[in-house]
């Protein structure tokens, strides 16, 4: 929507003949600002630190294809403990 506002591309924003395409685009842009999900700074910093640990080899990576087997193994270990 921001790109549409800057490039004067309002085509497709007017739903009715009496609608002003610019006003519709403008309204949608400001309405959508409240819909954006912003992640907290602490969470972003945590992700960056995790990436650094992965780069340094401090984190064990599990290929996505092996996730199901990992869950089965964890569940089996829990059953054995009972």
* Distance from C-alpha of 10 to C-alpha of 27, rounded to nearest angstrom: 12
Residue 25 has a pLDDT of: 80
Tens digits of residue pLDDT in 26-48: 887 887 776 667 778 898 899 99
pTM given for the model: 0.38
**pLDDT above 70 (res 67):** yes
CA distance 48 to 17: 49
Q: What share of the chain has pLDDT > 90, as a percent?
A: 11
**Burial letters 33-43, b for 16+ CB under 10 A, else e:** eeeeeeeeeee
**pLDDT at residue 17 above 90?**
no
With a cut of 90, say whether residue 61 has pLDDT above it. no
The pLDDT score that the predictor gives to residue 34 is 67
Question: Cα angle at 68 between 64 and 72, to 5 degrees?
Answer: 145
């Amino acid at each position: 929507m921001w790109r549409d506002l800057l490039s004067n591309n309002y085509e497709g924003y007017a739903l009715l003949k009496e609608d002003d395409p610019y006003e519709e685009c403008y309204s949608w842009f400001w309405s959508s600002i409240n819909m954006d999900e912003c992640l907290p700074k602490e969470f972003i910093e945590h992700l960056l630190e995790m990436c650094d640990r992965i780069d340094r080899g401090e984190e064990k990576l599990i290929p996505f294809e092996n996730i199901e087997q990992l869950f089965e193994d964890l569940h089996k270990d829990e059953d054995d403990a009972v």
